Amino acid sequence: MTTTTRTVTRPSVPSCHGDGGGEIVRDGRPVVALVGSPNVGKSSVFNTVTGARRSVGNWAGTSVEVGSGSWRSGGLDAAVVDLPGAYSLDPLSPDEELTRDLLVRPDRAELPDVVVVVVSAADLARTLYLAAQVLEQPLRVVLAVTMGDVATRRGIDVDHAALSLALGVPVVAIDPRRGRVDGLAEAVEEALRTPVPARSLRPCGCDCAPGCSCTCCAAGATADAKADPTAGPAGDAAHLAGDAAHPDGGADGLDGDDELAVADRRFARIAAAVEVATSRRGSARADWTDRVDRVATHPVAGPLLFLSVMWAVFQLTTRVAAPVQGFLDDLVSGPVSDGARWLLSAVGLGGSWVEGLVVDGVIAGVGMLLTFVPLMAIMFALLALLEDSGYMARAAVVTDRVMRAVGLPGRAFLPLVVGFGCNVPAVSATRVLPDARQRLLTVLLVPFTSCSARLTVYVLVASTFFGAHAGDVVFGMYVLSIVLVVVAGLLLRTTLLRSLGQEDLVLDLPRYQRPALRLLGAVTWTRLSAFLRTAGGIIVATVVVVWALSAIQIGERAQEPVRSSAYGRLSTAIAPVFTPAGFGDWHAAGALTVGFVAKEAVVSSWAQTYATAEPADLHQPGGLGASLRGDFERSSGGHTTAAVLAFLVFLLGYTPCAATLAAQRREIGGRWTLVGVGLQLGLAWSVAVAVFQVGRLIA
Amino acid sequence: MVTLASAPFGVPLLLEQAALPAPRRLRLAELGLRPGATVTVLRRTAGGGRIVGVGDARVAVARAVLQQVTAVHAAAPAEKG
Amino acid sequence: MTVPSAASPLRAVLAELDAGAPTLDEVARRTGLDRGVVSAAVDHLVRLRRVDATTLASACPDDGCGTCPSSGGCGSHGTPAPAGNRPVLVALSVRRPRP
């Protein structure tokens, strides 16, 4: 197969009369021009019929892009010119000007041999306007109708035979997006065999003899023509004169009412054709969207579906992310750290505080940050999937009532749901709320959603103390989390945020659609990078600080070096605060102190305080578990269960992490963030103490 | 004349007016619910609201808003000559 | 003066808009024209500057970018949804011809 491209341009002198501008070079083959409105799929047609035999370039002397190529199909061998999309031949843009220049010219030998006008079945009336104008010119025309599938979905049925009869031209239905253009080549071949019609500028474009039975004559257009000065031979001449005169801006060169009258004639033709050739099938919204919604928005089934979907999201996130997180963790604490140590030894810094800072501080911090990435990426992607598919709107409807109880609009559920994955992106997710005070309230409530970092501690503690019932305890924590959100919400609304208005639900429910993967990727990446930017620096800095605190020794060195480090001293000083809650022990206090900065570090620093190894599997705590049991026994005076539960409750409710604080500060400002911290600490401590004191009486 | 909150399901209705503040009315109008539009109340939603169909679109509306929008039964479409 | 709609769709639509038809569906009903034709006619009338169209919208649309939590910094926020997906409220007013 040879690749031949025929150039169809010759340099031209731009003319303000619009009768120059380039000509079509003939190579002996017929020339087919492709015209049509933008967005009807004209380019797809061009690509499909020319295959590899095409090229695109600028029309000489203009900035207009024109495609040219060869169309070989069956008995057809023609040169094709793909003109830019044009709504009409009225030269309101260079694109339309060029199309007009090629189709309206005094010398008929320069005209294309066949013009294929591409129109859309889904928007026939609009896309036929160009066709109506083309049909006023002495050109062979074939109409190609695309987007039949879209039309069908909208409940519009097009009768192509009727359309052909009404307009007086061959009509072919095609689907260029799927490469189906059968029939078009034959139609063009057939058209080439017919003589060029001598069109007049009558409304119907045919040489209407008295008694003509074409559509517009039958509709009484000739009667209207009597009242219309622009119809008839005088009008034709005026029209042509208008064409040649061509002042800028005015369509057809006529003004005001004449312009309207001319356009009206074309519209009459279009209306008549549309009338006979299309039928609408009532409301054609994809049936299955409505069917799914019968469940998705149902008063009972809706919430159940919502919970299932959310459960699935979290299951998928944790199950898929966990191995990747494990891998990254191993990578950083293994080869990367070892490599760094080796490097530092090589330069003589082995064993120094520099090594500590670099390996246990910076690298460990970056490693921790990296382990966030799989979790966040998957969660963001899943949430974006739900949004793009259209389900999120239904979820907003379902959660609206519940949200309203907290004084928030339905849309606030999204950030709160995200919060169960990680609080940091949840804080930025509050941007979905248009009202600033609603955003404030939601941002202050996000920390009470139990994030996945807290989960790591729950699992460790629950496995250590509750054995087989660990799962129930963890589930209970999540329930408590929701309760805390509601309680905190009510607290805030009755005190500081009393003036918050109520916004009733009015929400558009879009059709369900297959999510666009490319968009999904883009959105996921945007959110992920925003998270890394916000939290990245803080997490790394935090780990460095904790390392430093643990490394600096204050006062007499204790038997366990950790205890006399700055970190240990600090924890010991804080510990008494937790005595009423049953865990007034420096180990626990130390863990919580670290947790104030980052929950992920709790388990590892807890292990450090006991100088035991961090358990590889949190479900089997091993040495750390044994140490924990001993300590909680002691600090709770025998009421271990109550103390453990109190500890878990405190962990749930108090400040999530420094990254969250940073995100909050960005959204609501420093002052309100501090209010939030106070709320978190206050509420967490109160509930923890209550749990212990009550639990002490029971168990 | 009924409010959308008490209108029967599945019956075409012609919206009259909404006794709501301007921003709320604008929001409704944007979604197709404006005086003169033909709508159908489709079903109940979780939370006491309803889903209203306007042409191809579906809008979930809370009860409080539904109670402020009045409508009459739509006339039968005129016979085509 | 009654204008036979089928023969002069543009003028018929213009007349109905002038007479205060509240929605395009109403215009279609009164003129007997296909809904798509009415819509195309209105667009053409706007092109001919016979009708002014001003889009009315409140901030933050509900679907599309509205539910996207990253609307503050989303790279794809700039691309508007294709016209068919989201309802748009447009106020149409007929221009008075200059004397």
Could you give the CA distance from residue A17 to residue A39 in angstroms, rounded to a whole number?
A: 29
Could you give the CA distance from residue A572 to residue A609 in angstroms, rounded to a whole number?
A: 12
For residue A417, the chain C residue with the least C-alpha distance is C69
Query: What confidence tier does C53 reach under pLDDT thresholds 50, 70, 90?
Result: confident
Could you give the CA distance from residue A330 to residue A654 in angstroms, rounded to a whole number?
A: 29
Find where tokens 């810094």 sit: A349
Tokens of residue A105, six digits: 């010219």
A194: in domain: yes
Q: Which residues of B touch C56 (CB under 8 A)?
A: 26, 29-30
Q: Which domain holds residue B6?
A: 1-39+68-76
B10: in domain: yes
A56: in domain: yes
A467: in domain: no
Could you give the CA distance from residue A242 to residue A133 in angstroms, rounded to a whole number?
A: 14
Total structural domains in chain B? 1
How many beta-carbon contacts under 8 Å exist across A and B? Answer: 81
A160: in domain: yes
Q: What is the pLDDT of residues B22-50, one digit of tens each?
A: 878 888 887 888 888 889 999 998 878 89
Q: Which domain holds residue C18?
A: 1-58+87-99
| Distance between B46 CA and the closest CA of chain A, angstroms | 3
C15: in domain: yes
Mutation choice for B interface testing from C25, C33, C67, C92 by most B CBs within 10 A: C25
Q: Which domain holds residue A579?
A: 538-698
Chains touching chain A through at least 3 C-beta pairs below 8 angstroms are B, C
Is B46 within 8 Å of A509 when comparing Cβ atoms?
Answer: no
B49: in domain: no
Residues 6+ apart with CB under 8 A from C90: C53, C54, C55, C56
Please report the pLDDT score of residue A513 as a whole number: 79
Could you give the CA distance from residue A146 to residue A163 in angstroms, rounded to a whole number?
A: 14
C66: in domain: no
User: Are A364 and A340 contacting, i.e. CB atoms less than 8 angstroms apart?
Assistant: no
Please report the pLDDT score of residue A172 as a whole number: 95
C72: in domain: no
B17: in domain: yes
Residues 6+ apart with CB under 8 A from C63: A393, A508, A510, C81, C85, C86
What is the rounded average pLDDT of the residues B58-76? 86
For residue B36, the chain C residue with the least C-alpha distance is C22
Q: Which residues of C touch A92 (CB under 8 A)?
A: 47
Please report the pLDDT score of residue B52 as a whole number: 93
User: Are A95 and A123 contacting, i.e. CB atoms less than 8 angstroms apart?
Assistant: no
Q: What is the pLDDT of residues A473-529, one digit of tens each?
A: 888 898 999 899 989 988 888 887 776 656 677 887 877 877 778 778 887 888 788
| Distance between A209 CA and the closest CA of chain B, angstroms | 27
Please report the pLDDT score of residue A251 as a whole number: 40
Could you give the CA distance from residue A665 to residue A463 in angstroms, rounded to a whole number?
A: 35
Closest residue to C57, CB basis, from B30, B35, B81: B30
B46: in domain: no
C92: in domain: yes
Mutation choice for A interface testing from B26, B34, B45 by most A CBs within 10 A: B45
Please report the pLDDT score of residue A548 as a whole number: 85
Could you give the CA distance from residue A431 to residue A417 in angstroms, rounded to a whole number?
A: 14
DSSP, residue by residue, A356-411: IIIIIIIIHHHHHHHHHHHHHHHHHHHHHHHHHHTHHHHHHHHHHHHHHHHT--GG
| pLDDT greater than 50 at residue C32 | yes
C70: in domain: no
Q: Is C37 helix (H, G, I), strand (E, B) or coil?
A: helix
User: Are A487 and A495 contacting, i.e. CB atoms less than 8 angstroms apart?
Assistant: no
Total structural domains in chain C? 1
C53: in domain: yes
C75: in domain: no
Q: Which residues of chain A have pLDDT under 50?
A: 1-22, 205-207, 218-253
Total structural domains in chain A? 2
Complex ipTM: 0.86
Residues 6+ apart with CB under 8 A from A388: A513, A515, A516, A519, A520
Phi, psi of A312 (to 5 degrees): -60, -40
Please report the pLDDT score of residue A283 as a whole number: 53
Is A267 within 8 Å of C9 when comparing Cβ atoms?
Answer: yes
CATH at residue C1: 1.10.10.10
B52: in domain: no
B1: in domain: yes
Q: What is the pLDDT of residues A280-291, one digit of tens each?
A: 875 555 577 888
Please report the pLDDT score of residue A426 as a whole number: 82
Could you give the CA distance from residue A284 to residue C45 in angstroms, rounded to a whole number?
A: 28
CATH at residue A121: 3.40.50.300
Torsional class of A82: left (φ above 0), alpha (ψ -120 to 50), beta (otherwise)? beta
